[in-house]
Structures are given as C-alpha cells and as structure tokens.
Structure 1
C-alpha cells in the first residue's frame, strides 16, 4: 500500500493519475484534510485517510498497513515540523520507504528564497537520520508557475518581471507525476536522490520568444526594477504573501539559483520531457 500525502493538491492529483495507470486503486491511500477534499479520490476507489500534518493521531492512523509513503512537501512556513511529524509516524509504523518531493537549486542557504527553501534540505536530513530507506525527488520549477510570474495577459501586455537574464529548466507537472509513479512502483530507487529538471534552461527573454512564436505576436520581456515591481503589486492589491513569493522567486532566478540541468527526469521517464513551448501554447493560445 502506498500513502500519498497532499493527495488533493495539484501535484498529488497528477501523481495519483499516473499511479492508477500502474497499480490498482485499492493499493493507494490518500491523506487529505477533509471528507470534502476526499470526494473525488473516493470515487476513484482509493483508500481515504483524513487528517493533517499536525495531528499525530491522524498520522498514526494514516500509516496503518502502509509500505511506502510519498511525502509531498507542504506549503506552510512550519513545514519542517509538519514533515518531521510525518517521518516520525512512518518510523513508528515500520514504513519501508519514504519518497520526498523537494527542490533542485544550487544553494538554498545563500538564496533570496532561503526562508522558503532551506526546510526542504532540512527535511531530507531528518529523513536520512530516521534510518528509513528514502528517495529524494528534487523538482525544479513547474512550467505551470510561469503564468503566476508573468500574468495571464502577457500576450497583450508583454512580460514585466525583475528576473534579469536568470534561467530555469522548467518542467511540466504531469512529467514529474509520471516520474514519481515510476519511482513508487519499481525497485532500485532506494537511498537515491534525483534532480528532476527539464533538458534546457530558459530566461524570460526565451519565454517571450516562445510566446511570440506560438501566438504570432511580438511579445517583449522587460526586466523591471524590483522596487517598482513590488510597488506596482501593492497598488493592484496583491496580498503580502504573494508579493513576497513573487519577488523572492524573481531575485532567486536572477541570481541563477535554479540553473541546474540533469538527465534524471528523462531517464526515469524513458523519453524527453514535454517541451515548455507546448505548455505555453496550450495555456495562452489554446
């Protein structure tokens, strides 16, 4: 039995879809926060475990009969504590393997995103110290986050973002889901770390170029001043947390924090990753 945490989220849902192509639904358990979030998963035939990362009793109940745990990293600023709760529960239950979704980047300790990203690597260290066999899936940034940075009206407004010439090897979320399903359903991945990236680095100038190609319009990228960008976001009513995340990622991308390319994803998939241009065309042009 495989337990998927964060099963109702975007990545969790995609991974479940990939897993269902490989194993029967009754071999999968979904850990979700409420019955409401479980409705669709229940229809698919999955075992449902209700609870959250801070509810120790619910975690202990969720681990019953579980051989492998997919720990999809949480979004809370307290996620290190939440993750350690999951690892401790897995250890008490005698779980045989933990697969953890972290992040691929050069050095979180010196990144503008340190406060957000360092806990990924602290979680990995805690899992290693637990003695449970592990697999670390360090995911780079999703192609699906590009619209968050540049807006859905980029074909009309152009791209205005303070990321300089920084580049990212974006990946399509369903590709990550397929690779995760491979790791969860096959042997030989224990105590290994995979850096799951696309096969090419893209700057926002490159993104603008791809959007120009798929739309037939000239889309320009402007590397705006970070202070002016933050001021504009406040003026249009973006919440403080949204501003912090957007400006933090811009600074980290500009610094080159995500400029890491490996063949790990391609090897797990047995094929080339989905081209970023294909995603952009589907999102912006249809």
Structure 2
C-alpha cells in the first residue's frame, strides 16, 4: 500500500487525485488528523486513517501494512517540528515501510538562517540512516504556509526562508 500524510492538504489531495487514476483505491492510505476532511473520498475504497504527528501510537497504527510513504513535512516550527518528523520516520521504520518520499526544502542545512532547513536536514539524515529507500523533494515554500510565518516577522522587515531573506 501507498500512504500519504497530510492527505487533506493541497499536496496531499493532488497526490490522492493522481494515485486514484493510476492504482486500485484499496492500495491507497490517506493519513489525516480529521477523517471528516476527506469526505469526498468516503466510499471510494481508499483507506482513510487518522494520525497525528504528535502521537507515535497513532502513526504506527496508520502506517501498518504500508510499503511506500509520502511524508509531507510538518507545518510546525523548531523543536516541535523536529520531534514530529522524527516520530513519522520512527513509525515508518517500526512498521516496515520500504520506501519513503519526503517533502524537504531547498538547501537543508544546520547553518541556514531558515529554521525549517535545520528540521529538514535532521529528517533527511534520519531517513538516510533508516535503511528505507528514499527520495527527497527539495521544494521551496508552499504559499499556504505563508500565514504561519507572519507572526515570526513581527518587529522585523523580513522573513527568512530557503530562498533567502
């Protein structure tokens, strides 16, 4: 089975739409915090499972039987994001996931001014050491996350991101 975390977000829904046209729906696992947000897929044959990046047990339950995983990076920041993404990787390893695709960022580095670069660098390293086959998508910032960073900029005239200031 193929699983997508954050399956109710823009990337998650686009991925579901793509997969539904190319595989049997019963091969797809859509992982969300709130199953009600994927109502349009109810009865489609897709397995809709609930999990939260804050809850290791829920992640392990959601990833049971999954062979391939699209891990959409956390929208949290800092230490919280690092802990969340670590839980996803640990759950994937625990459940025997064979392949993982991770939505990283441009230039993941512990030296970047962009905090998500530190998180992505850590997550990529965990995945590399996990024994799973992997792909890293090095995307820039998603437009729907911009409001999450506005509070960060209070008192400054800039917002640091992977693409620069």
Structure 1 residue 56 displacement after superposition: 1.6
Instruction: Indicate how the Cα distance of structure 1 residues 240 and 44 shifts in structure 2: closer, same or farther if over 3 A, else same.
Output: closer
Structure 1 residue 254 displacement after superposition: 5.2
CA contact (8 A) 2:85 2:123 kept: yes
> Where does residue 98 of structure 2 map in the other structure?
96
> Where does residue 152 of structure 2 map in the other structure?
244
2:99 & 2:148 partners in 1: Cα distance? 38
1:21 & 1:70 partners in 2: Cα distance? 17
> Where does residue 135 of structure 1 map in the other structure?
135
CA contact (8 A) 2:106 2:117 kept: no
Unaligned runs of 5+ in 2: none
Structure 1 residue 141 displacement after superposition: 3.9
Match of 2:107 among 93, 105, 108: 105
Structure number with bigger Rg: 1
Instruction: Indicate how the Cα distance of structure 1 residues 13 and 108 shifts in structure 2: closer, same or farther if over 3 A, else same.
Output: farther
1:252 & 1:95 partners in 2: Cα distance? 29
1:35 & 1:73 partners in 2: Cα distance? 19
1:68 & 1:242 partners in 2: Cα distance? 34
**1:240-279 pair list within 5 angstroms:** 241-244=149-152, 247-249=158-160, 253=163
Equivalent position SS for 1:11:
helix
> Where does residue 79 of structure 1 map in the other structure?
81
**1:1-20 pair list within 5 angstroms:** 1-20=1-20
Structure 1 residue 40 displacement after superposition: 2.3
**1:167-206 pair list within 5 angstroms:** none
Q: How many residues align?
A: 160
Structure 1 residue 59 displacement after superposition: 1.1
CA RMSD, 1 decimal: 2.6
Structure 1 residue 35 displacement after superposition: 2.6
Question: Of Structure 1 and Structure 2, which has the larger fraction of its residues in helix?
Answer: 1
- State the 4+ residue runs in structure 1 displaced beyond 6 angstroms: none
> Where does residue 52 of structure 2 map in the other structure?
52
1:135 & 1:53 partners in 2: Cα distance? 20
Unaligned runs of 5+ in 1: 150-238, 256-286
> Where does residue 120 of structure 1 map in the other structure?
120
